[in-house]
Every structure is written in structure tokens, then in C-alpha cells.
């Protein structure tokens, strides 16, 4: 394996799933400007996630629409007539 290709500045970072407010502490090299006070009383960098294993349907077994850009609403309004025809049959 190649030497010196992995970063050496790993530190503890809090990741927060914004869809269900689940937080977890892990090691990362990601840069962030936000911080949060963790359960142990220390302050750690905060990374906000749209989806994580706590909210992803594969891990939870529940279907949940996570739509941050309005794509689902746009799709539904575009194909609204098609769905209405299918329901009446």
C-alpha cells in the first residue's frame, strides 16, 4: 500500500441527522464552522446531515420521503393527472 496518503488530523466530530435530530460522535477530518456541546460537556465541531443510518429506509425498514429541494412535490404536480386517471380506473 502507498504510504502517507491518508490524513493524520482525525478528530472527534458530532454528526447530526436533520431529518430526525439523531446525533452521534465519530472521528473525521471534515472542516466545519459550527460547534455543539456534547453529552460529556465538551464542545465538538458539528456536521449537519440530510440523511444517515438513523433515517435511511434501508436501515430503518420504514419508507420515509426526505426531500430537501422540493423534487417530490415537483414530480407529483407534474404527473398529477396520470395518478388521478389511474386511481379512477
Q: What is the pLDDT along the chain (89 residues), one digit of tens a residue?
A: 788 888 888 999 999 988 888 899 999 999 999 999 999 999 999 999 887 777 766 666 776 655 556 677 777 787 887 777 666 55
Neighbours of 44 (CB within 10 A): 19
The Cα–Cα gap between 84 and 63 comes to: 22
Whole-model pTM: value is 0.62
Return the H-helix or E-strand segment holding 60. helix 57-60
Amino acid at each position: 500500500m502507498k504510504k502517507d496518503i491518508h490524513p493524520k488530523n482525525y478528530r472527534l466530530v458530532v454528526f447530526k441527522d436533520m431529518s430526525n435530530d439523531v446525533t452521534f460522535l465519530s472521528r473525521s477530518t471534515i472542516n466545519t464552522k459550527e460547534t455543539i456541546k456534547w453529552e460529556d460537556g465538551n464542545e465538538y465541531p458539528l456536521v449537519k446531515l440530510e440523511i444517515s443510518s438513523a433515517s435511511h429506509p434501508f436501515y430503518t425498514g420504514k419508507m420515509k420521503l426526505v426531500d430537501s429541494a422540493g423534487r417530490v412535490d415537483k414530480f407529483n404536480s407534474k404527473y398529477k393527472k396520470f395518478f388521478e386517471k389511474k386511481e379512477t380506473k
